[in-house]
Amino acid sequence: MTLGVYINMKDQVSEALDFYGEIFGSTCTDMMTYGSIQEEGGPEIDEKNKKN
């Protein structure tokens, strides 16, 4: 069974996903960050929170 989960976190997302992956025996197969979105006219993201 495949489960699609959408979560929003401010910091340490990769570490949190690794932690929960170990607990539940799963892996994140597709992760999108706000920093990876290239949308014109969208909100500006400060460099501290922008991760590619």
With the CA atoms of 43, 14, 7 and 51 taken in that order, what torsion angle do they form, in degrees rounded to the nearest 10? 10
Question: What does the pLDDT read at residue 41?
Answer: 66
Q: What pLDDT, in 10s, does the model give residues 11-29?
A: 788 888 899 899 999 888 8
Check residue 25 and give its pLDDT.
Answer: 92
Structure tokens belonging to residue 22: 């170990």
Give the whole-angstrom CA distance, residue 5 versus residue 45. Answer: 23
pLDDT given for residue 45 in this prediction: 66
| pTM summary value | 0.49
Single-letter residue type at 49: N
Label residue 46 exposed, middle or buried (CB < 10 Å: 0-12, 13-18, 19+): exposed
- d(C-alpha 6, C-alpha 31), whole Å: 10
